[in-house]
Structure 1
């Protein structure tokens, strides 16, 4: 069940999304693609998690890294991050795409697949909470120009189309593309997506188990 949101957050929901894996279909490509979401009750404790980790003893090489990511962080530091996230009031949701099930005729349409997964995940999350108005969707700044425009339009369209989320109109949906280096919640969902991908890729659940109780939606597609 979603956490009990306090009065200050009772009229909106922030959804941070990120992915793990790739959308290629070669022998070197990942078998699974993860679209994950973080829904924090309060972003401040998450910011403190990453600030605290950076203030602790770190090797010089790591201190020079502009952004902590799941794939570039040492094991002990990862454990500390996941333990810290597990202590925060937040919800996690994710979709897993088993890529061998993707029809051949759309395998080269990576942006369409990406947009569909993101929109499906966000729509299912808002349905979990009921009516939240407005909704803020925050994503890493990796799309530009028409790709960004198409993503925003499709995401808003699917959210309005979904019958159970109670969103009144397009003006109540805000989609923000932000620099992940400056946004700890995007960094946090990168770690979460990485842990989920690792679970499905290699059946290794050390990090996943630390945040398991935060899961409100877990779905394998199709």
Structure 2
């Protein structure tokens, strides 16, 4: 099983300084290597056939939700659908930060909130269909200490739920080197656009693949 994790938005709460009003974490869960291969091929074809057709020195190395046109996103999805083996799903958790800020008067620690959201959405994944190895691949955007805390928090909370013969391996990789991270970035962008702007254009293309989509509410005393 391969799980790719990406986020859209930020966890700042100074809305006068252009902090995002929504924050979204999305998982792309591929249940086997054949499914992962279909994503790699679809991303690669899109890059070659749509973005790097001309012989230029400045090659585009990755697909990003924020700077990829709707037409190119749809092209990627059509390439993906050419594969008959489609054993994958999407899980997502969305935070309305303005609403959250109005409910909590204390200082919100970004790393703690991030880890909590990751745990809550990963906890929704059904691991009963996994093989003996689970790889969780996360965009390498945090410092070394933050990555260590993240890994420890998730392993401590998730490993007790896994069979003894199933291993959990957490990897932090750069998105331009990983096609799965590029794919989940496209999906995450579509989900946050739905919540922030009621834009369903790209979202509707893949919405049938969404298994969980949570509008998160904090547990308060």
1:101 CA drift (Å):
1.7
- 1:1-222 matches, cutoff 5 A: 13-27=1-15, 28-41=18-31, 42-58=35-51, 64-85=59-80, 89=86, 90-99=88-97, 100-102=99-101, 103-107=104-108, 109-125=109-125, 128-130=126-128, 132=130, 133-160=132-159, 166-168=161-163, 172-222=167-217
Residues of 1 paired with 2:170 and 2:71: CA distance?
34
- Is the CA contact 1:38–1:93 (under 8 Å) kept in the aligned structure 2? yes
The residue matched to 1:92 in structure 2 has which SS?
strand
The residue matched to 2:51 in structure 1 has which SS?
coil
Q: 1:58 to 1:173 in 2, by over 3 A?
A: closer
1:79 CA drift (Å):
1.9
- Is the CA contact 1:120–1:158 (under 8 Å) kept in the aligned structure 2? no
Q: 1:57 to 1:123 in 2, by over 3 A?
A: closer
Q: Which runs of 5+ in 1 are unaligned?
A: 1-12
Residues of 1 paired with 2:166 and 2:77: CA distance?
35
The residue matched to 1:56 in structure 2 has which SS?
helix
Q: 1:197 to 1:170 in 2, by over 3 A?
A: farther
Q: Which runs of 5+ in 2 are unaligned?
A: none
Name the count of aligned residue pairs: 203
- Is the CA contact 1:156–1:170 (under 8 Å) kept in the aligned structure 2? no
CA RMSD of aligned residues (A): 2.4
TM-score (norm 1): 0.82
**Residue 9 of structure 1 aligns with which residue?**
none
The residue matched to 1:39 in structure 2 has which SS?
strand
Q: 1:171 to 1:58 in 2, by over 3 A?
A: closer
